[in-house]
A and B are shown apart, each in its own frame.
Chain A
Amino acid sequence: MTHAPTHAPTMAKLTLAERLRPWMPVLLVPALMVFGFLTIDSSSSWLTLTVSGLAMGMMIFVIASGMTLVFGLMDVINFGHGAFISFGAFVGTSVLLALGAMTGVPSLMLNLLAIAGAVLAAMVVTGGMGWAFERVIVRPVYGSHLKQILVTMGGLIVAEQLIYVIWGGHEIVITRPETLKGAITFAGAALEKYRLLAVVVGLAVFLALRTVMRRTKVGLIVRAGVENPEMVQALGYNITRVFVGVFIAGSALAGLGGVMWALYQEIITAHMGNEIMILVFIVVIIGGLGSVEGCFIGALTVGLVQNYAAFLEPKLALISNIALMVAILMWRPMGMVPVVKAK
């Protein structure tokens, strides 16, 4: 016997149910939409709620993606991630208020330019903060989750207090730029323009992130590093440097999410980041810590459930997400897209 027998992957004799199983999480979002369509009797309300749920989900995804990758790559849990959201919101809002001349006129071009400026400023600041945060706060506590949670929580307190020092203790009201106010009517449903923009931006971030992860060398390194950082090192890549890069990018994305959220709520407070983090935690847990795809599915699910529940039974809106988390953890204890870990 000199020839190796063929070792085909054993996927030939699977039942339909078994073949569907890996796709179940992906099907969850459309299934949820269908469920919403059946339970909400007015189809125009359904469309409004769906768009609003997707917008919210996209924003949470933008915020959560960095956090989940930071965990996946280096096993670092950052409870201070909310600080980047708040800082992003405050920096972005300050820029938008300063650019009042561009946001107050009914020109889509100028409005979007102002938002782009605000986003850029917010991302630069939060990216820089992320770099400092990784250096000063996180680096000394690699390997100890307990200390990471405590120290990053401390970092969050300090960052929140710094917002009070810089911007004062009051909440700030920020109205949307002129052309993004109001709603368009589609199929009898009122769809807020800004929410549509949020969906587009979130989708763009997701696709960009996916392309980077699938098509570039850095993406390959990150994906491989999530599974087995040691082997990535042994192939000749400095994982620490890649990790710092991911941390900075993740912080900058949280800053982007903060600006998006500020314009969504049209009011910002120093502890808004902290409040959003609750949804972010639910999303990364149900998505599977470390998985970008899981994070995306989880974020959309949370956004939709929150909006449908708020319509069907307003008092249950927040509880609905807790219930969702419990249900998914009982179904899949490692989250919807479990991340393979070598060690």
Chain B
Amino acid sequence: MSDPILQLKGVKTDIAQYHILHGVDLDVPRGAVTMLLGRNGAGKTTTLRTIMGLWKPHQGEILLDGAHINGLNPAQIARRGIGFVPEDMGIFSDLTVEENLRLAALSGQPIPERMDWIFAAFPALKTFWKSAAGTLSGGQKQMLSVARAVVEDRELYLIDEPSKGLAPAIVATLARALKDLKNRGATILMVEQNFSLAKALGDHVAVMDDGRIIWSGAMAELASDTNLQERLMGLKMESAG
């Protein structure tokens, strides 16, 4: 695991008076998909939000491409080349699909080549191009959220549980798109509860519990060892899709 693009060293984050992260150490290798697994409340979403600068860690270091990014505001961190798909999708429902994507394109307008790819992956976005994003279905909103993160090339994509609450067919569409993104050489750190999806996409895996990384290694290793799965994640992973 040489030359990680993102490194977390002993990151501790508090939310109000609660300690959520108790010292997270994590390396995210370049050009691969790293899955962040763990039960609810383990601190996965907080880890992504802390990387993004939306929560401030009170201890520890976060390095992107070897440079410290803790202490920067979220806008500065985003401009270092991180695309973010938050847990609640973060769609601007008053804006149209087009405007949501235009806003995400920091260079001005979305690149046509990129848009062709997005439309091929998510045809619904083309259909509702001029509709307010608030009128989309839950699955379409998730597609828009992903599309917004990938509208330009980013160093790293942080994707928070894209399959959450969606019908299997839509999860399949999203999975295909993410697979495609991966094949283009993207670096992804993704939170996922759906183990079969995680297994299909992930190269590496880190398992969290109680605000710490308790295991990390190759996805193949975890996928082939059901005992390890049960030990790490307590209960059997739900398998949908």
Contacts and interface: CB of A to CB of B under 8 A. Distances in A.
Query: Do A and B share a complex?
Result: yes
Interface of A: 1-7, 9, 11, 217, 220-221, 223-224, 226-228, 230-239, 340, 342
Interface of B: 52-54, 73-76, 78-79, 84, 86, 88, 90, 92-95, 99, 102-104, 106, 108, 124, 128, 131, 134-137, 139-140, 148, 167-170, 172-173
A342 B145 CA distance: 15
A278 to B, nearest CB: 29
Nearest to A214: B99
A234 B172 CA distance: 27
A7 B54 CA distance: 32
B78 A7 contact: no
Given A237-B75, A238-B75, A223 B136 contact: no
The 3 A-B residue pairs whose C-beta atoms are closest, nearest first, are A236-B78, A7-B137, A231-B90
B17 to A, nearest CB: 16
A234 B103 contact: no
Contact of B78 (A6, A226, A234): A234
Nearest to B75: A238
Given A2-B172, A223-B92, A231-B90, A7 B140 contact: yes
Given A3-B169, A4-B169, A228-B92, A234 B74 contact: yes
B75 A233 contact: yes
A224 B75 contact: no
A83 B182 CA distance: 56
A4 B172 contact: yes
B152 to A, nearest CB: 10
Contacts of B53: 233
Given A4-B139, A7-B136, A223-B95, A233 B169 contact: no
A235 B78 contact: yes
Contact of A234 (B52, B99, B106, B124): B52
Given A9-B135, A224-B95, A228-B92, 17 more contacts: A2-B169, A7-B139, A9-B128, A9-B131, A220-B99, A223-B94, A224-B94, A227-B94, A230-B74, A233-B53, A233-B75, A234-B52, A234-B54, A234-B75, A235-B106, A236-B75, A239-B75
A217 B170 CA distance: 31
Contact of B104 (A2, A235, A238, A239): A235
Contact of B73 (A3, A223, A238): A238
